[in-house]
Amino acid sequence: MRYGELVILGYNGFLPQGDRGRRRSKFVLYKRGESNGVKRSKHYIVQSPQSSQAILDAKQHSISYTLSRNQAVIVEYKEDPDTDMFQ
């Protein structure tokens, strides 16, 4: 299934030194065979986000939002089999 096209303006003309040809500026978005989406599972406030288990675990999807110098909100995400994040 084809969702549509993504066109990036102002990117097609850039050529790095030693490169030949043009960069692609159009990308077609297709539905994946297996979904790869994520959804929010839980969130909590911590004093030290750098030492939080969610941040240290490389297999866990998480985002840390800083509230103040010694407070942050950590939002954890889990896999969502119903959401497609495009290919």
- Asked if residue 65 is part of any domain, the answer here is yes
DSSP 16: -
Residues 71 and 51 occupy one common structural domain: yes
User: Are 46 and 26 found together in one domain?
Assistant: no
23 plus 61 within the same structural domain: no
Per-residue pLDDT of the chain (87 residues; tens, 9 = 90+): 788 888 887 665 556 666 666 666 778 888 778 888 888 999 989 887 777 777 778 888 888 898 988 889 999 999 888 887 764
Instruction: Give residues with Cβ within 8 angstroms of 50, minimum separation 6.
Output: none
Two structure tokens written together for 28: 């077609």
Q: Could you list the residue range(s) of the whole structural domain that residue 70 is in?
A: 36-82
If asked whether residues 12 and 40 sit together in one domain, one would say no
| Rounded Cα distance, 52 and 26, in Å | 40
Closest CA to 30 of 63, 1, 66: 1
Helix (H) or strand (E) holding 53: helix 53-56
Residue 58 lies inside a defined structural domain of this protein:
yes
* Alpha-carbon span 16 to 87, nearest angstrom: 26
